[in-house]
Amino acid sequence: MLTSDQSIVEYKAGQAIPDRLTQSTHRHYVDYAERMLSIYHNGRSRQRRELHRQIEALFADEPDCPVRRIQAFCKLLDDRSTYQSDLPGHAAKLRMNVFLRAACLHPLVEQPDRLFEHEEKKTKQQLVDQIGLSWDEIESNLYVDVLSFQRLERFEGYPNAPALLSRYNVAQLQACLYRAERMVVMATDDLKTILRYAKLAKLLHEIVRLGPSKYRITFSGPASVLHQTRRYGVNFAKFLPALLACKGWRMTATLKTPWNMTARLNLTDSDGFISHLPPPDEFDSSLEESFAAKFGSERNGWRLIREGEIFHDHQETFVPDFTFRHEDSTQAFLEIVGFWTPEYLAHKRQKLQKFRHWKILMAVPEKSLREGVHIGENVLVYKTALKLEPLLEALEKLRAINKITI
From the number of C-beta atoms within 10 Å of its C-beta (0-12, 13-18, 19+), residue 183 rates as buried
**Quick one: pLDDT band at residue 48, thresholds 50, 70, 90?**
very high
pLDDT, position 132: 92
pLDDT of amino acid 225: 62
Residues recorded for the chain:
406
- Of the CA atoms within 13 Å of residue 366, those in its CB half-sphere come to 6
Same domain for 121 and 215, yes or no, is no
d(CA 287, CA 138): 60
Picking from 103, 120, 144, the residue at the C-terminal end of a domain is 144
| Residue 254 and residue 202 in one domain | yes
Phi-psi region of 375 (alpha: psi -120 to 50; beta: other; left: phi over 0): beta
**Residue 204 maps to a domain:** yes
The span from the CA of 354 to the CA of 6, in Å, is 45
By percentage, how much of the chain surpasses pLDDT 70? 91
If asked whether residues 244 and 214 sit together in one domain, one would say: yes
Using one digit for the tens of pLDDT, what is the confidence trace for 302-347? 999 876 677 776 656 777 888 899 999 888 888 887 666 667 677 7
Question: What CATH number is attached to the domain comprising 291?
Answer: 3.40.1350
Q: What is the pLDDT of residue 284?
A: 67
Which of 19, 24, 28, 38 lies closest to 62, judged by CA?
A: 28
**Is 150 a member of any domain?**
no
DSSP 147: G
**Element spanning 12, H or E:** strand 9-12
Asked if residue 76 and residue 163 are part of one domain, the reply reads yes
User: What pLDDT, on a 0 to 100 scale, did the predictor assign at position 156?
Assistant: 96
Confirm if 241 and 277 have CB atoms less than 8 A apart: yes
Per-residue pLDDT, averaged over 153-170, amounts to: 96
pLDDT, position 280: 67
Q: Are residues 372 and 300 in the same domain?
A: yes
* pTM beyond 0.85: no
pLDDT of residue 238: 87
Measured distance CA(325)–CA(301) in Å, rounded: 8
Strand 205-211 and strand 214-220: the pairing is antiparallel
Confidence of residue 45 (pLDDT cuts 50, 70, 90): very high
Same domain, 95 and 68: no
- Is residue 281 situated within a structural domain? no
Residues 77 and 94 in one domain: no
Residue 194 and residue 103 in one domain: no
Q: Are residues 174 and 251 in the same domain?
A: yes
Burial of 19 (0-12, 13-18, 19+ CB in 10 A): buried
Among candidates 3, 62, 76, 52, which has minimal Cα distance to 32? 62
Q: Which residue has the higher pLDDT, 392 or 319?
A: 392
Report if residue 177 sits inside a domain.
yes
Q: Is the pLDDT of residue 382 over 70?
A: yes
Domain that holds residue 76: 4-81+158-268
63: left (phi over 0), alpha (psi -120 to 50) or beta: alpha
What is the mean pLDDT of the segment spanning 187-203? 82
Same domain, 220 and 349: no
Residue 194 class from Cβ within 10 Å (0-12 exposed, 13-18 middle, 19+ buried)?
buried
pLDDT level of residue 196 (50, 70, 90 thresholds): confident
In this structure, are 49 and 162 located in the same domain? Answer: yes
At 232-284, the pLDDT tens digits run 888 888 899 999 999 999 999 999 998 989 999 999 999 999 998 877 666 76
How confident is the model at residue 314, as a pLDDT? 63
Query: Of 144, 166, 186, which residue sits at a domain end?
Result: 144
- According to the model, what pLDDT value does residue 303 have? 93
CA 94 to chain centre: 39
Using CB atoms within 10 A of its CB, is residue 383 exposed (0-12), middle (13-18) or buried (19+)? exposed
342-376 residue pLDDT tens:
676 777 777 777 777 777 888 888 887 766 565 66
pLDDT of residue 187 exceeding 70, the answer is yes
C-beta separation of 140 from 45 below 8 A? no
Average pLDDT over residues 193-217: 82
**Claim to verify: residue 256 and residue 304 sit in the same structural domain:** no
Is residue 149 a part of any domain in this protein? no
Average pLDDT over residues 89-100: 90
pLDDT of residue 340: 63
- Per mean pLDDT, which range of 149-153, 203-207, 244-248 is the poorest? 203-207
**CA separation for the pair 49, 280 (Å, rounded):** 38
Does residue 276 lie in a domain region? no
In a domain, 153, yes or no: no
Instruction: Pick 203 or 168 by higher pLDDT.
Output: 168
Report the C-alpha gap between 361 and 358 in whole angstroms: 9
Domain count, the chain: 3
